[in-house]
Amino acid sequence: MQDGYRIVEWGVDPVWQTFEVGSPGSDEVLIQVEACGVGLTVLNMIRGDLADERAKLPRVPGHELVGRVVAVGTAVPRELVGRRITTYVYLYCGSCAECVAGLEDRCLRLGGYVGVHRDGGYAPYTVLPARNVIRLPDALDPVAATVIPDAVSTSVHVCRSRARVGPDDRVAVIGAGGGVGIHMIQVAAMYGARVAGLDVEADKLEAIEALGALPVMSADFAGLNARLWDSGPPTVVVDFLGSPDSLGWAMTSVGAGGRVVVLTTFRDLVAVLDPRLLVMNEASILGSRYATRHEVELAADFVAQGRVQPIIGATSGPAGVGEIHERLRTRRLVGRGALSWA
């Protein structure tokens, strides 16, 4: 038996319960969780934003888990036992045309998400498909490593595959002080771009500046000059806020040949699109959906090599998870939160 948090009703904070530790099937692994990332995506999952008819309750949330494999099914190599791992968040099939092409984030038979359709890291143990396990260097601190499976991987996907960021780019990140944004500014800089981080809280702007990006107060998009650099407006705008105002500013501010990258999935949100402006600017609006498995591996390498610094604004044991949730809801957390089972 184990004690952990489970969602018993979508839209309601998870509750502390005692329940059984699962046993791995033939192609599964049992993971002892060391730490789990806590970010706005977890709150979206708890709210039910990613649930469907396949998502059964109760469910243990927490998709950004790091831990060690303690048991494997009969079809899984024994060498995985004892290895530190993180997880690929999407429950991909591994055999459709997109998966075979290495585009697991576009899986045609997607089985759902860790923390929504399979138990995640808000409990000390979980069972997951072996193909969702990604090895990590043993020397990586498990709490620091919780930024890898989502925050850093998402940033790598945007810069490497979607916006194709390079040394000639000027990248503006809206919501740059949050869990993904604070890592996006680092990854964009690593790919050679000049970077500006837009946010509204003083401590977040200080963190953005400390990481070498240009801090920009963005409380009023209507009055925000797009010419953030002497050399011109942004060539790439990455929007983690996803409001009509932020999306409107992004689409009207991006320079010629620029790319606006959208990552939020809020329901019933509509932004005004000016097709004439897009045509005259030859600009692109791009959706970005998580990352490929290879990009999660790249993210792990970047963190292990010290090229991306994990920014975790709050770490606690199980008793402090509710406080981290509240700080996220009120936008008072710089970077990611983390739940430690140590």
Angle between helices 181-190 and 202-210 (to 10 degrees): 20
Residues 6+ apart with CB under 8 A from 288: 154, 157, 158, 162, 163, 261, 262, 263
Nearest of 117, 108, 189, 105 to residue 149 by alpha carbon: 105
Q: Could you tell me the CA-to-CA distances from 78 to 65, 164, 297 in Å, in that order?
A: 21, 38, 21
Percentage of the chain exceeding pLDDT 70: 100
pTM of the model: 0.96
pLDDT, tens only, 248-296: 999 999 999 999 999 998 888 888 889 999 999 999 999 999 999 999 9
Question: Model confidence at 107, in pLDDT bands (50, 70, 90)?
Answer: very high
**Degrees to nearest 5, angle at CA 263 with 259 and 269:** 105
Q: Which of 142, 180, 175 is nearest to 158 (CA)?
A: 180
Write down all domains in the chain, each with its CATH number in brackets.
Answer: 2-150+291-340 (3.90.180.10), 164-287 (3.40.50.720)
Query: How many beta carbons lie within 10 A of that of residue 82, not counting itself?
Result: 10
Q: Residue 218: pLDDT above 90?
A: yes
Measure the CA–CA gap between 32 and 111, rounded to whole angstroms: 23
Tell me the chain's radius of gyration from C-alpha atoms.
Answer: 20
Confidence of residue 10 (pLDDT cuts 50, 70, 90): very high
The DSSP call for residue 149 is I
Beta strands, E only, 189-277: 194-199, 214-217, 236-239, 259-262
With cut-offs at 50, 70 and 90, classify the pLDDT of residue 121.
very high
pLDDT over 90 at 69, yes or no: yes
Whole-number Cα distances in Å, 19 to 120, 123, 131: 14, 10, 25
